Amino acid sequence: MKTSLAELAFERGRLIERIAHQRSTLAQQLQPLQDAQVTSQRLMTRWRIGVDYLSARPWLLALGALAVLLLKPRRALAWGLRGVVLWRYVRRLRASVPPELWALATRWFRL
């Protein structure tokens, strides 16, 4: 049984439309995975930056180990958390202050 070219073209159009619908459905279903991938890439980037930072400054690791040895571990953790909070506050402050004013403040306070 021969199929006409018109019927084949119609069937091809239907298949192309079906494929397009399946692709859009798949893209919607994969969106949470793409969001998770972006988040994991961001975390890995921050991890690498942190490792590079500490690799360039081994004295920070030695200082942290000394703090844990001299203070109780719980106390050292509390002071470490305070330091992180202070560091984040200074970074936010630095981002919100104009660079000229920040340079003046660092010269004035010797930061």
State the pLDDT at residue 67.
Answer: 82
Domain range for 110: 71-111
Query: Residue 64 domain-assigned?
Result: no
Q: How many domains would you assign to the chain?
A: 2
Instruction: For residue 80, count CB atoms less than 10 angstroms from its CB and return exposed for 0-12, middle for 13-18, buried for 19 or more.
Output: middle
Tell me what percent of the residues of the chain surpass a pLDDT of 70: 96
Query: Residue 17 domain-assigned?
Result: yes
The pTM score is 0.46
CA–CA gap between residue 13 and residue 18 (Å, rounded): 9
pLDDT tens-digit profile of 26-64? 999 999 899 899 999 999 999 999 899 889 989 988 988
